[in-house]
Amino acid sequence: MPTIVFIDSGGARHEVEAKIGENLMTVGREHGLDIEGACEGVAACSTCHLIVDEDWFARLAPADEDEQDMLDLAMSLSRTSRLGCQIEVRDGMDGLVVRLPREIRNMMFD
Ligand code: FES
């Protein structure tokens, strides 16, 4: 199982094992990280916003149009921002580093 490294909004590092096929929002929540995931993974809320480490960003499958549209509305947007629910864990992701943003916006309730 790949190890995914989450850096929480306070800067603490959490190394967790992830099952192939799970998405990063689910993985983070299963390990107690504060990822709301209000829409349960259908790219409709942006509360699973994660900032991917620069070195890893280009190695992930790119965001589709729906994900990009939702990210445009997220707070604390970065060049390497992604929706955690749209990143599926695959072989080769061992050591992937993602950071939780300091603030999130739930587009379902704005
Ligand atoms: S959980 Fe809502 S966009 Fe990812």
How far does residue 2's CA lie from ligand 1's centre (Å)?
Answer: 22
103 — pLDDT class (breaks 50, 70, 90): confident
90 — pLDDT class (breaks 50, 70, 90): very high
- pLDDT tens digit string along 1-35? 999 999 998 999 999 999 999 999 999 999 999 99
How far does residue 44's CA lie from ligand 1's centre (Å)?
Answer: 6
Give nearest CA residue, ligand 1 atom 3.
Answer: 43
Residue among 29, 93, 31 at smallest CA distance from 61? 93
How much is the average pLDDT of 64-89?
Answer: 94
CA distance 14 to 27: 11
User: Which pLDDT belongs to residue 102?
Assistant: 84
The preferred substitution site among 30, 85, 87, 104 for testing ligand 1, maximizing ligand atoms within 8 Å of CB, is 85
How far does residue 25's CA lie from ligand 1's centre (Å)?
Answer: 8
User: Would you give the DSSP letter of residue 81?
Assistant: E
User: Which pLDDT belongs to residue 69?
Assistant: 94
Do the Cβ atoms of 53 and 97 come closer than 8 Å? Answer: yes
**Of all atoms in ligand 1, which is nearest to the CA of residue 37?**
1
Classified by CATH at the fold level, domain 3-99 comes out as Ubiquitin-like (UB roll) (3.10.20)
Sorted by where each begins, the domain ranges of the chain are: 3-99
Average pLDDT for the chain: 93
**pTM, whole model, 2 decimals?**
0.92
